[in-house]
């Protein structure tokens, strides 16, 4: 199989046009609703994807009650016995910044100068913000207008999958085995696989939810959530001496005991951290939520033991104070599962090289749906989608990334054909 210049041009236009279409649909998830999906508006994109998959020849296409989209593309004639593979991307965008009325701006032939935003003159995108910009000089780069995120996480992944699907439909000479796609809701709030139908997925899958062009992510954090509730005692402040136990004041002192060197703003590469994600309350009751992250389970166990020791110390220091600790395991490091199936990594690495890209086989300082799927028996590495500075107003993507992610998918399918 040869990916000709004609096919590359097709992938570029398909990837760009689909991406610009998808990001205009607000799919922000919301961890506070307690529903599946967390927001009904995610169905809006799901319905569109169902229609498009049917147009591209997919079978068994459904949008289920939990907002998961599934579709199966039959193998090219003669390749029906090829090992099926799955391709996944998530439809929701992060609630960290608004995803309402996203207005993309295309910066043609980026010249290396600071990028400004028409709707937010207070921010600029510079090489200091993202040294990767240096690599994208001369390329067209897409940002938002500055008052929303862009949505490349993960609508770039969806666009890459759909562009590849469009190429298989238009160019039957591009052969492939059986392909299953699955678009998930609520990945950004950690619910992307809770209601997934595992029976609809093949033995090996790939998520397209990574960053820089050429990345293949095979390792992620071991992740925990620590909820700490402080129960105090309220007394009229005029008569509170030796009686009041001020919950939120004590919670603040508790947080001060977290090692500053082990917080996200002071860590990188393989270093883990405590991240104070949320704090709320009053003098009677306060709550803090930390996320604990590390590439080694034992390091997170040490962090949890430290929080337990702080609990004991603070309850002794403040008679009447009651502290509740709750630890929830979010996901595991997927490397331990992927190492049992080296072929799933090897075929992806080869596909990236076949697309004439520099391979960056790396770790992700976060998590993906693939981490949870790997732990549940479906090895699922994470391929690049091409976006940078996710979850921020400065999020951006070079347009060629949308072509290259689709191109890698075509080569990946070829590699599984043997």
Q: How far apart are CA 91 and CA 153, in angstroms?
A: 9
Annotated catalytic residue within 52, 92, 262, 332: 92
Q: How far apart are CA 401 and CA 12, in angstroms?
A: 9
CB 167 within 8 A of CB 406: yes
Annotated catalytic residue within 26, 52, 72, 187: 187
Annotated active-site residue 187? The verdict is: yes
- End-to-end CA, the chain: 12
Q: Is the sign of the CA dihedral 166, 172, 174, 178 positive or negative?
A: positive
CB 216 within 8 A of CB 381: yes
- Residues catalogued as catalytic: 92, 187
């Amino acid at each position: 199989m040869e990916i000709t210049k004609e096919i590359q041009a097709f992938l570029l236009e398909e990837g760009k046009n689909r991406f610009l279409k998808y990001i205009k649909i607000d799919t922000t998830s919301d961890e506070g609703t307690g529903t599946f999906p967390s927001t009904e508006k995610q169905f809006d994109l799901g319905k569109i994807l169902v229609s498009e998959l049917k147009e591209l020849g997919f079978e068994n296409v459904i949008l289920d009650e939990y907002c998961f989209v599934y579709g199966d593309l039959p193998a090219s004639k003669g390749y029906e016995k090829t090992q099926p593979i799955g391709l996944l991307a998530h439809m929701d965008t992060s609630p960290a910044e608004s995803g309402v009325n996203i207005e993309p701006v295309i910066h043609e032939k980026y010249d290396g100068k600071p990028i400004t935003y028409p709707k937010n003159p207070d921010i600029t995108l510079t090489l200091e913000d993202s040294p990767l910009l240096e690599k994208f000089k001369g390329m067209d780069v897409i940002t938002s207008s500055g008052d929303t995120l862009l949505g490349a996480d993960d609508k770039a992944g969806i666009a890459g999958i759909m562009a590849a699907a469009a190429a298989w439909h238009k160019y039957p000479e591009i052969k492939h085995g059986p392909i299953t796609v699955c678009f998930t809701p609520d990945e950004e709030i950690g619910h992307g696989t809770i209601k997934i139908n595992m029976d609809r997925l093949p033995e090996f899958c790939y998520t397209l939810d990574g960053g820089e062009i050429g990345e293949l992510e095979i390792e992620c954090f071991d992740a925990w959530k620590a909820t700490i509730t402080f129960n105090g005692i309220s007394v009229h402040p005029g008569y509170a001496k030796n009686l009041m136990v001020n919950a939120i004041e004590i919670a603040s002192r508790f947080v001060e005991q977290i090692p500053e060197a082990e917080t996200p703003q002071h860590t990188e590469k393989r270093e883990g951290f405590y991240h104070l994600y949320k704090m709320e309350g009053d003098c009677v009751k306060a709550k803090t939520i930390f996320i604990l992250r590390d590439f080694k389970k034992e390091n997170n166990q040490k962090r949890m033991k430290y929080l337990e020791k702080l609990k004991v110390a603070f309850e002794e220091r403040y008679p009447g104070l009651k502290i509740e600790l709750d630890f929830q395991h979010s996901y595991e490091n997927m490397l331990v599962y992927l190492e049992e199936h080296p072929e799933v990594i090897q075929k992806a690495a080869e596909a990236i090289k076949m697309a004439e890209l520099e391979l960056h086989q790396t770790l992700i300082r976060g998590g993906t749906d693939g981490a949870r799927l790997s732990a549940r028996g479906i090895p699922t590495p994470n391929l690049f989608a091409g976006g940078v500075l996710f979850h921020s107003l400065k999020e951006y993507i070079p347009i060629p990334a949308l072509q290259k992610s689709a191109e890698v998918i075509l080569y990946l399918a070829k590699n599984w054909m043997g």
